[in-house]
């Protein structure tokens, strides 16, 4: 069951990631090609970085190239739909939060099947869930929001930790997976609702700037 559900969720996730990235491209006045490319890189980049770092070949979009049609299509479809986006904000935030949980679980699964140690499994989930957005921000010449924003990565770590912990406790896979995703989703939505943030570190010194490093 769950595998099929995850599969559907995955398509929802890459579609939403590509569409939100398309809006970023629009804010930078990119051309249609840039929109399609930024959407695809954002939607599939996190999983690609995970696979490259773990040496897990072939990459998802190489094994299933039609995913590129989904991400390019979703990004380009955003252009005419952009005017309606603000009205769909809550829906997109919900789908995006679901996508974060889905990407995290998928990333953990890849590392688990490779027999990676616990920490690497959690990190693999976080990379899959979060780094696509970091690539998007780098390509838009912005400091990654991930490093300064709501509990996005923390949600991914909690989701991955609960998922892995449940499996290691010998609990059945599907309830553990859905439970971990539900907790992560709830935490993310609460963070958005109440504007929860990690405390910030503000430093005005210049050790670094002067040491030429």
- HEC string for 63-110: HCCCHHHHHHHHHHHHHHHHHHHHHHHHHHHHHHHHHHHHHHHHHHHH
| Distance of closest approach, residue 34 Cβ to a copy of itself, in angstroms | 3
Nearer to a copy of itself, 4 or 87 (CB): 87
Provide the residue count of the chain: 213
In whole angstroms, what is the distance from residue 1 CA to residue 3 CA? 6
Q: Which is nearer to a copy of itself, 92 or 179 (CB)?
A: 92
Q: Are 161 and 147 in contact (CB under 8 A)?
A: no
Shortest CB 9 distance to a copy of itself, Å: 17
Residue 127 to residue 129: CA distance in whole angstroms? 5
CB of 93 to a copy of itself, least distance (A): 5
CB closer to a copy of itself, 41 vs 181: 41
Radius of gyration of the chain (CA): 18
Distance of closest approach, residue 47 Cβ to a copy of itself, in angstroms:
12
Distance CA 153, CA 174 (A): 23
Least spacing, CB of residue 182 vs a copy of itself, in Å: 20
**Minimum CB distance to a copy of itself smaller for 2 or for 116:** 116
The nearer residue to a copy of itself, 1 or 207, going by C-beta atoms, is 207
Which CB sits closer to a copy of itself, 2 or 140? 140
Per the CB < 8 A criterion, the answer to whether 61 and 78 are in contact is no
Q: How far is CA 101 from CA 3, 37, 92, 125, in A?
A: 14, 24, 14, 9
Shortest CB 172 distance to a copy of itself, Å: 27
């Amino acid at each position: 069951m769950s595998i099929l559900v995850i599969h559907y969720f995955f398509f929802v996730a890459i579609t939403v990631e590509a569409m939100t990235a398309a809006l970023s491209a629009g804010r930078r006045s990119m051309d249609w090609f840039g929109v399609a490319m930024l959407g695809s890189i954002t939607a599939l980049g996190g999983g690609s970085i995970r696979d490259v770092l773990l040496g897990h070949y072939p990459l998802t979009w190489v094994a299933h190239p039609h995913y590129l049609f989904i991400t390019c299509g979703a990004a380009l479809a955003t252009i005419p739909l952009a005017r309606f986006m603000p009205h769909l904000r809550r829906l997109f935030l919900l789908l995006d939060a679901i996508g974060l949980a889905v990407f995290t679980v998928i990333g953990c699964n890849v590392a688990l099947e490779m027999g990676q140690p616990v920490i690497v499994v959690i990190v693999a989930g976080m990379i899959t869930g979060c780094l696509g957005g970091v690539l998007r921000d780098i390509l838009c010449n912005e400091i990654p929001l991930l490093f300064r924003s709501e509990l996005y990565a923390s949600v991914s770590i909690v989701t991955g930790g609960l998922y892995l912990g449940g499996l290691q406790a010998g609990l059945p896979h599907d309830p553990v997976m859905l439970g971990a995703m539900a907790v992560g989703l709830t935490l993310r939505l609460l963070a958005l609702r109440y504007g929860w943030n990690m405390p910030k570190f503000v430093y005005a010194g210049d050790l670094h700037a002067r040491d030429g490093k």
